[in-house]
Amino acid sequence: MTKTLRTLSRPTALLFSLLCAITALVLAAPARAEIQLNVNRGDVQPLPVAVPAFGGGQVGADIAEVIGANLQRSGLFRPLDPASFVEKNLTAAVQPRFADWKTINAQGLVNGQVTVEGGKLRVDFRLWDVFAEQQLLGLQFTSSPENWRRVAHKISDAVYERLTGEKGYFDTRVVFVAESGGRGKTIKRLAIMDQDGANPSYLTTGDSIVMTPRFSSNSQEITYMSLRPDSSTIYLFNLETARRESLGTFQGMVFAPRFSPDGGKVAFSVERGGNSDIFVMNLSSRTSTRLTSDPAIDTSASFSPDGSKIVFNSDRGGSPQLYMMGADGSGQRRISGGGGRYTTPVWSPTGEFIAFTKQTGGEFHIGVMRPDGSDERLLTTSYLDEGPTWAPNGRVLMFSRETPGGPPKLWSVDVTGRILQPMPYPGAGSDPAWSPLLN
Amino acid sequence: MVRSVNGNTVFRLALVGVAAASLAACASKPKPTYPTQTPPATQAQPPRTELPPAQPGVSQQPMGALPGSTQDFVVNVGDRVYFDTDSHDVREDAKPLLDAQSSWLRRYGSVAVRIEGNADERGTREYNLALGARRANSVRDYLVSHGVTADRISTISFGKEQPLDAGSGEESWQKNRNARTAIVSGAR
């Protein structure tokens, strides 16, 4: 695991990298050698950045605030307090007074201007390397005025990518199960929101129990399971048209659906006579193929990003563990090796890791391992953590966490385990599923 | 009510009812009460001038659950059996109840049931759905092996979605690891 930050223009790169390694020394005297930063290290110090209110009134201030909050939550950046800014009312049309920003030790500076003209919103922004006194990025976005949050997310992604060398994940949405009503009489509704908790809305009414929603790679379609007193159904739901259709009628219970990376198939479990096996349905031909036939529980299938393999959960060895097979069901073998119970495997979008839920000694963990089962690392520990989902860049995981007797809440943790925090959504929620980057 | 005389369970129920009534102990179940007999006064003694002791009143209430009804099944047989952690084996202590379920179901041959498997919260959602399904099927298999025809029994798993006890701790978890036999049709 040696993802590195893109090399910045020299002085910033120096500062950034050294800040991460030896903060105190860097702050005192920048060194000369260029060091590459490993963002997966546990001692990364967030980069100080300034995101002053964009010009153009309230919407300009709002956009800057959303950008700052996104960068802050990533854990890789530390937006500075606007009260400390020396240069005020900076517009995108002029070069910043770098000395003013050096004074407060802003390494990066994001400034911009919003213009509303003819019913269109135009946002110009620039990213500056303060100590190199250079522009790193200058972009213009045009959209409709009510779409200003998405513009802020796209700017956040551009800044993140320019400074880390990795794709961002801010212009994304999360589908999840919103819970209300208290334990034992919980109402579960499918809901969707932006990744920062904004714009939450319900997709189902709560007349049946819904669970385990998952995004298709096109971000417009989800699949989920609905449970009624006498049956279960897997649905495909189009977020643009609100069209919902059943995957089909099966003998036995169906559950644990998940799209293939190309969106053309859905893997799912069918239970008959107490035995759960994994099937895959081709969505265009509507034919399904059985992939496992072991009398044990086989469930929670998740495709590799190239679609060639499936990781799944089985207790065929006596306890729930993670197994790997070809997408045609061939070559089934166990990959999890440690003690404890492993469930909910999810392949990362980069293919690098499998995330999972692990139970040991009365506690739950979210963890990651390589697809061959090596390099297992536990990222969280609590009374009940469950059901990880990956941000599209493979850098952050979201999951649900419960305290004894409490409602589930959505949390996130980065892949190093360093940046653990509740999601900015105040309600009770479970089974989050992160969308790919929106188009 | 015509059928009420032809079942052991019903007899037992009646006896229980009488016992409960005489003890006047059970508030939740219907409890027919009966007059207490006072010995007749001896002829030799002349009537005394004081008033006779007050006669106990006679109250009337409905009989216990209608035999063959859902209430009969739930109250007099029991609708739920419990499982060990991560296990779907029918426990020894669950067998008497399942034996009673199968004899009740054999007696009332028109009743169809759905067995709902449940799991505690100490597992993840999808695995627990599969585990609950196994529990439901363990009960189904037991009933079938004791003479209940398979086509009268359907199964479903609620996983950890419908906990019987909302608490957290082994006592609650134990209650939530169960399979409930729910009557869906054919009961009186």
In chain A, residues with a C-beta closer than 8 Å to the C-beta of B134 are 274, 297
Q: Between B126, B161, B164, which is nearest A300 by CB?
A: B126
User: Under CATH, domain B70-185 is a member of which superfamily?
Assistant: OmpA-like domain (3.30.1330.60)
**For chain A, how many helices (H) and strands (E)?**
5, 29
Residues on chain B bordering chain A, Cβ-to-Cβ distance under 8 angstroms: 86, 88, 114, 116, 121-127, 129-131, 133-134, 136-138, 141, 154-159, 161-169, 184
Taking residues A349-367, what's their average pLDDT? 96
pLDDT tens digits, one per residue of A291-306: 999 999 999 999 999 9
Distance CA A398, CA A410 (A): 7
Determine, for residues B126 and A431 on separate chains, whether the beta-carbon distance falls below 8 Å: no
Taking residues A210-217, what's their average pLDDT? 96
Give the chain B residue whose CA is nearest to the CA of A407.
B166
The two beta strands, A108-117 and A47-50, are parallel
Distance CA A330, CA A307 (A): 14
Taking residues A257-273, what's their average pLDDT? 97
Chain Cα centroid distance, residue B6: 18
In chain A, residues with a C-beta closer than 8 Å to the C-beta of B166 are 182-184, 405
In chain A, residues with a C-beta closer than 8 Å to the C-beta of B154 are 230
Given the structure tokens 């991460």, which residue do they identify? A20
Determine, for residues A405 and B126 on separate chains, whether the beta-carbon distance falls below 8 Å: no
**Alpha-carbon gap: B149 to the closest alpha carbon of chain A (Å):** 15
Q: What is the pLDDT of residue B62?
A: 82
CA dihedral A237, A243, A248, A252 (to 10 degrees): 50
In chain B, residues with a C-beta closer than 8 Å to the C-beta of A320 are 127
In chain B, residues with a C-beta closer than 8 Å to the C-beta of A183 are 163, 166
**Alpha-carbon gap: A386 to the closest alpha carbon of chain B (Å):** 6
Determine, for residues A184 and B162 on separate chains, whether the beta-carbon distance falls below 8 Å: yes
Q: Between A269, A359, A404, which is nearest B168 by CB?
A: A404
- Would you say residue A407 has pLDDT above 60? yes
The two beta strands, B153-159 and B112-118, are parallel
Q: Which residue has the higher pLDDT, A417 or A41?
A: A417
Distance CA A42, CA A52 (A): 29
Distance CA B98, CA B96 (A): 6
Taking residues A356-375, what's their average pLDDT? 97
- Closest alpha carbon to A436 in A158, A143, A195: A195
Q: What is the pLDDT of residue A108?
A: 95
Residues making up chain A, counted from first to last = 439
CA dihedral B68, B71, B76, B82 (to 10 degrees): 120
Give the chain B residue whose CA is nearest to the CA of A272.
B133
**Alpha-carbon gap: A428 to the closest alpha carbon of chain B (Å):** 15
- Would you say residue A39 has pLDDT above 80? no
Question: Looking at A3-7, A321-325, B82-86, which range is the least confident one?
Answer: A3-7
Domains (range + CATH), chain A: 42-164 (3.40.50.10070), 173-434 (2.120.10.30)
In chain B, residues with a C-beta closer than 8 Å to the C-beta of A209 are 158, 161
- Reported ipTM exceeds the 0.90 cut: no
Angle at CA B25, nearest 5°, toward B23 and B31?
Answer: 85
Which residues of chain B are under the pLDDT cut of 70?
Answer: 1-48
Q: What is the pLDDT of residue A44?
A: 73
In chain B, residues with a C-beta closer than 8 Å to the C-beta of A297 are 127, 130-131, 134
Q: Are A229 and B161 in contact (CB under 8 A)?
A: no
Determine, for residues B130 and A269 on separate chains, whether the beta-carbon distance falls below 8 Å: yes
Determine, for residues B127 and A209 on separate chains, whether the beta-carbon distance falls below 8 Å: no
> HEC states along B22-84?
HHCCCCCCCCCCCCCCCCCCCCCCCCCCCCCCCCCCCCCCCCCCCCCCHHHHHHHHCCEEECC
- Closest alpha carbon to B104 in B1, B9, B5: B9
What residue spans define the domains of chain B? 1-36+58-64, 70-185
Determine, for residues A319 and B86 on separate chains, whether the beta-carbon distance falls below 8 Å: yes
Q: Which residue has the higher pLDDT, A396 or B14?
A: A396
Distance CA A145, CA B89 (A): 61
Structure tokens at A404: 């004894």
Sheet holding B112-118, edge to edge: B80-82, B178-185, B112-118, B153-159
User: What's chain A's average pLDDT?
Assistant: 90
Give the chain B residue whose CA is nearest to the CA of A257.
B126
Distance CA B134, CA B116 (A): 10
Rg of chain A in Å (alpha carbons):
23
Q: Which residue has the higher pLDDT, A210 or A41?
A: A210
Terminal C-alpha separation, chain B: 11
- Would you say residue A22 has pLDDT above 60? no
CA quadruple A8, A10, A12, A15: dihedral sign: positive
- Would you say residue A377 has pLDDT above 90? yes
Given the structure tokens 């995330």, which residue do they identify? A355
pLDDT tens digits, one per residue of A140-184: 999 999 999 999 999 999 999 999 999 999 999 999 999 998 776
Structure tokens at B131: 């585990």
Taking residues A341-367, what's their average pLDDT? 97
Q: What is the pLDDT of residue A379?
A: 97
Task: Enumerate residues 6+ apart whose C-beta is below 8 A from B85.
Answer: B120, B122, B173, B177
Taking residues A134-138, what's their average pLDDT? 95
In chain A, residues with a C-beta closer than 8 Å to the C-beta of B114 are 229-230
Q: Which residue has the higher pLDDT, B100 or A2?
A: B100
**Alpha-carbon gap: B32 to the closest alpha carbon of chain A (Å):** 36
Distance CA A398, CA A423 (A): 8
Q: What is the pLDDT of residue A43?
A: 60
- Would you say residue A51 has pLDDT above 90? yes
**Alpha-carbon gap: A74 to the closest alpha carbon of chain B (Å):** 27
- Would you say residue A105 has pLDDT above 80? yes
pLDDT tens digits, one per residue of A230-247: 999 999 999 999 999 999
Q: Mutating which of A187, A230, A430 best tests the B interface, going by the most B Cβ atoms within 10 A?
A: A230
Give the chain A residue whose CA is nearest to the CA of B172.
A405
Determine, for residues A431 and B125 on separate chains, whether the beta-carbon distance falls below 8 Å: yes
Structure tokens at B33: 């009460």
Q: Between A297, A343, A405, which is nearest B168 by CB?
A: A405
Q: Between B157, B165, B169, which is nearest A253 by CB?
A: B157
Q: Are A212 and A255 in contact (CB under 8 A)?
A: yes
**Alpha-carbon gap: A342 to the closest alpha carbon of chain B (Å):** 9
Distance CA B143, CA B149 (A): 8
**Alpha-carbon gap: B68 to the closest alpha carbon of chain A (Å):** 22
**Alpha-carbon gap: B188 to the closest alpha carbon of chain A (Å):** 21
Determine, for residues B123 and A359 on separate chains, whether the beta-carbon distance falls below 8 Å: yes
Determine, for residues A299 and B88 on separate chains, whether the beta-carbon distance falls below 8 Å: no
Determine, for residues B130 and A271 on separate chains, whether the beta-carbon distance falls below 8 Å: yes
Angle at CA A84, nearest 5°, toward A78 and A87?
Answer: 110
CA distances from residue B146 to A164, B76, B100, B106, B161 in whole angstroms, order as listed: 66, 19, 10, 9, 30
Distance CA A177, CA A188 (A): 6
CA quadruple B137, B138, B141, B147: dihedral sign: negative
Task: Enumerate residues 6+ apart whose C-beta is below 8 A from A107.
Answer: A12, A15, A16, A47, A48, A49, A129, A130, A131
- Interface size between A and B, measured as CB pairs under 8 A: 97
Backbone angles phi, psi at B185, to 5 degrees: -165, 165
Distance CA A283, CA A226 (A): 19
